[in-house]
Amino acid sequence: MDTELQQMVAAGTMERTGHGLFRLCAGVKPPYTPVISPEMKTLFSGISERYPYAGFCIWQARVVSSFMQHVPSIDVMILETDRTAAEAVYEDVRDMAIGRTVLLRPTEKEYRLYASGTPSLLVKDLISEAPVISVDGVFTASLEKILVDVTIVPEFEFARGSELFTIYENADQMYRIGKKTMLRYAARRGKKEEIKKLIESTML
């Protein structure tokens, strides 16, 4: 048994079920690990090769549907990168994102007019110190980042109102969430108090 597993067993997070077999202990919530689609991997690899010194985060708006009561039909991919690289990345990714409407830093009105209801890719600025995770070699949004962004960015208008409370409650029941991480990121976006109130009213 390797050191990490030994530590998890000792902490009561994992339990042994047989020789070389382990499982999460009852009541322990797993970390959030999204599925990386082939399209996401291709786009991430292609754009990273062209801009090896820029930071990137790619994710899909539909990931929130697993936490929702009323599941929308939405096909929006979000590619975030350093502010200084965003315009150049936008020009290149338009040729790579086949079949998608590509927009650079769209306003709520621009998103509604040109991207809503169609397969789209939004190129946006990556907020410094945003909580991202690496999955299959692709940097994507952590659950903490997703929950904060769902609350404030225009493309998630469909998730507002009572649905937002459902998203927070279900996410908290299903996965382990770093509330301090959420608050640090929310502070970077100028929304710390709003997110703090949501956490206090929806998460145990």
Please check whether residue 148 is in contact with residue 171, taking contact to mean a CB–CB distance below 8 angstroms: no
**Pairing of the two strands 138-141 and 101-104:** unpaired
Task: Give the count of alpha carbons within 13 A of 111, CB side only.
Answer: 20
Greater confidence (135 vs 21) lies with 135
Q: Can you give the pTM of this predicted structure?
A: 0.85
pLDDT exceeds cutoff 60 at 2: no
Residue that the structure tokens 């499982």 belong to: 23
Helix, strand or coil, per DSSP, at residue 38: helix
Minimum mean pLDDT among 2-11, 42-51, 89-98: which range?
Answer: 2-11
Residue with the bigger pLDDT between 148 and 158: it is 148
Burial 65-98 (b: 16+ CB within 10 A, else e): bebbeeeeebebbbbbbeeebbeebbeebbebbe
Residue 151 reports pLDDT greater than 80: yes
Dihedral angle sign, alpha carbons of residues 144, 152, 196, 72: negative
At 12, the pLDDT band (50, 70, 90 cuts) reads: low
**Higher confidence at residue 114 or residue 14?**
114
Checking if the pLDDT of 17 tops 70, the result is: no
